Amino acid sequence: MKASAYRLAGAVMLVASCSVSAQQSGGAAPDISAGKKRAAVCFACHGENGIAKIPATPHLAGQNRSYLEKALLSYRGGQLRQDPTMTAMAKSLSDADITNIAAYFSLLTRMDTGQTAVETLETRERIKPVSTVQYAAETTPATAPASPAMATNQTAAEPRTGDTIFNTYCTACHTTGAAGAPKLGDQAAWMPRINQGKETLYQHALQGIRAMPPKGSCATCSDEEIKITVDYLVAKSRE
């Protein structure tokens, strides 16, 4: 068996073992796809492929999953490990986020095929046969329209405030200046950007720019919420 096959088998066994242990402990198995999305805020320093872009920043590709989980938990606690950027980033992570992010980076071992274990597993997921039950569910139209009460609840949801989103998703970089991010309230850094106009700022926030991923890694944020957060940043940087 080739080395790449051994590595893939190991990756599959890792995900399977995670699922079994999670079921035994009552928790959820790692979601590699969710881990990749939530880890977007890490890419500015550690790289999407787990290879650090900044000198003296550790590479995360192929690191032991348990070690990464413990490190993130320590940063979130802010006692055993202390670093302004990492602590600010980790504070917004749930236990599930930490498990998923650690699993994602641990599977970034590059194989002989040129793909990482994550990429190979993603390919397998895309091409696996669709079960009869799943096919029926996906192709059978819903027969009952949503109730008026449900529709009202869906449309009545208010967007989150700019400070809420900032303190959850943006603070790790925009309060420390990580990867060149302009700090909140730094007029000298923000005024040239503000002078480009709101629409340009909105576009950069929504689509990403340089080290910042699209929507600043807030995959659950609506376009409206991202614009509200931009307005918050601008207002704070003009004070």
pLDDT at residue 40 is higher than 80: yes
* 105 within domain boundaries: yes
CA distance between the termini of the chain: 64
Residues 170 and 105 in one domain: no
Q: Read off the tokens for 158.
A: 């208010």
Span 232-239, average pLDDT = 87
Most confident of 81-95, 108-122, 155-169: 81-95
* 154 within domain boundaries: no
> What total of structural domains would you count in the chain?
2
- pLDDT per position as a tens digit, 81-108: 888 888 888 888 999 999 999 999 998 8
Neighbours of 133 (CB within 10 A): 8
Range of the domain at 202: 162-236
Is the distance from CB of 32 to CB of 74 less than 8 angstroms?
no
pLDDT at residue 146 is higher than 60: no
- Which is more confident, 60 or 79? 60
Is the distance from CB of 197 to CB of 190 less than 8 angstroms?
no
pLDDT of residue 104: 92
Residues 16 and 96 in one domain: yes
CATH number assigned to the domain comprising residue 231? 1.10.760.10
pLDDT of residue 131: 54
Cα 133–chain centre separation:
31
Q: What is the pTM of this model?
A: 0.55
* 157 within domain boundaries: no
List phi, psi (to 5°) of 161: -80, 160
Opening angle at CA 83, ends 81 and 88, nearest 5: 105
pLDDT of residue 230: 92
